[in-house]
């Protein structure tokens, strides 16, 4: 499938306005598996309206540009598309309810060559409508497995964060609810590959996969839990690489290395012994 480089690179995203409530904030946290133990008072601060706080990863589900890439004129093989990397910088704590404005833009497309796919980079900045303040900046890297060799500019792929070559300082485990994909999608990502077994099979998976950003949120919460004693406001930026699909019902083991205010991390799906999150880096203020 031939990707139209100029049309994709210059796609004119309109600003997106989205209002959300405390209910949405709680539903997002539940979609990440928080309060599997409903008596866990530390996690109730993210799932119960009394003293509610928003998780710092919540911006990833707000002001999404939708499935624009499915339009035939772009030539994107969206069925084979995967989420490759995710980065997020927190500028201000997220309100638990409000109205935000998101501005998306394609920043670059790297052609890895015929049969090797391409990388599509999309930035999104989120603003609080009431104050005009910038709340967060995100970069989504999408792997276009079916679109290599379209003739785009050749660039070196940015090097990922290097994981320390020593034993981890911390290790955490988190179970993914078998219904996780069906719950998480209610926060706005309705890609059918996370719910429809037939579409998942068409894309080459034995069953629906869990959302990459769902895995992202789960793993970042483990960093918050084990390095900042649940103080979510102490996490200021984070980025990671998705190295393999994750399935609902699996258990994630996250290894964490601490070096000053930087936490490096890697997550493995225990049942398959497969690294699913790699080259993770979080900057802490705690």
Residue 224 vs residues 60, 142, 232, 234, 256: alpha-carbon distances, Å: 17, 26, 6, 8, 11
DSSP state of 92: S
Instruction: Quote the CA–CA distance of 137 and 39 in Å, as a whole number.
Output: 34
Helices (H), ranges, 135-241: 180-184, 197-202, 212-227
Residue 204 CA: distances (Å) to CA of 9, 143, 210, 245:
28, 15, 14, 11
End-to-end Cα spacing for the chain? 48
| Residue 42 falls in the annotated catalytic set | no
The interaxial angle of helices 212-227 and 22-31, nearest 10 deg, is: 90
Which residue in the block uniquely carries the two structure tokens 């790297």? 110
Token duo for residue 171:
């290790």
Q: How far apart are the C-alpha atoms of 185 and 194, rounded to whole Å? A: 8
Residue 41: closest CA among 53, 25, 57: 53
In the set 140, 194, 211, 226, the catalytic residue is 194
Tokens of 153: 């500019």
Q: Residue 100's beta-bridge partner residues? A: 18, 128
Asked about 189 being catalytic, the answer comes back as yes
Return the number of other C-beta atoms located less than 10 Å from residue 90's C-beta.
21
Of 237, 243, 246, give the one whose Cα is nearest residue 214.
246
The active-site residue out of 77, 123, 169, 189 is 189
Give the residue numbers annotated as catalytic, written as ranges: 189, 194
């Amino acid at each position: 499938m031939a990707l139209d480089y100029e049309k994709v690179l210059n796609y004119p995203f309109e600003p997106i306005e989205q209002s959300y409530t405390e209910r949405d904030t709680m539903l997002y946290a539940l979609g990440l598996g928080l309060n599997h133990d409903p008596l866990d008072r530390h996690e109730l601060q993210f799932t119960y309206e009394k003293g509610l706080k928003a998780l710092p990863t919540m911006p990833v589900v707000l002001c999404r540009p939708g499935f624009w890439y499915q339009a035939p004129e772009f030539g994107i093989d969206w069925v084979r598309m995967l989420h490759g990397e995710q980065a997020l910088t927190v500028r201000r704590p997220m309100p638990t309810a409000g109205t935000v404005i998101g501005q998306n833009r394609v920043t670059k497309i790297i052609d890895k060559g015929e049969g090797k796919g391409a990388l599509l980079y999309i930035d999104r900045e989120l603003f609080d409508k009431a104050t005009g303040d910038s709340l967060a900046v995100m970069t989504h890297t999408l792997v276009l497995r079916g679109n290599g060799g379209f003739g785009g500019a050749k660039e070196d792929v940015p090097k990922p964060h290097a994981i320390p070559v020593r034993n981890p300082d911390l290790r955490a485990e988190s179970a993914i609810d078998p219904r996780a994909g069906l719950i998480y999608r209610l926060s706005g990502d309705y890609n059918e590959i996370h719910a429809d077994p037939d579409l998942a099979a068409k894309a080459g998976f034995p069953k629906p996969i869990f959302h990459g950003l769902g895995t992202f949120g789960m793993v970042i919460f483990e960093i918050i839990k084990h390095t900042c004693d649940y103080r979510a406001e102490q996490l200021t930026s984070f980025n990671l690489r998705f190295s393999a699909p994750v399935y609902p019902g699996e258990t994630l083991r996250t290894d964490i290395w601490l070096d000053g205010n930087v936490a490096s991390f890697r997550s493995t799906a225990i049942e398959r012994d497969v690294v699913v999150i790699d080259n993770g880096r979080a900057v802490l203020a705690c």
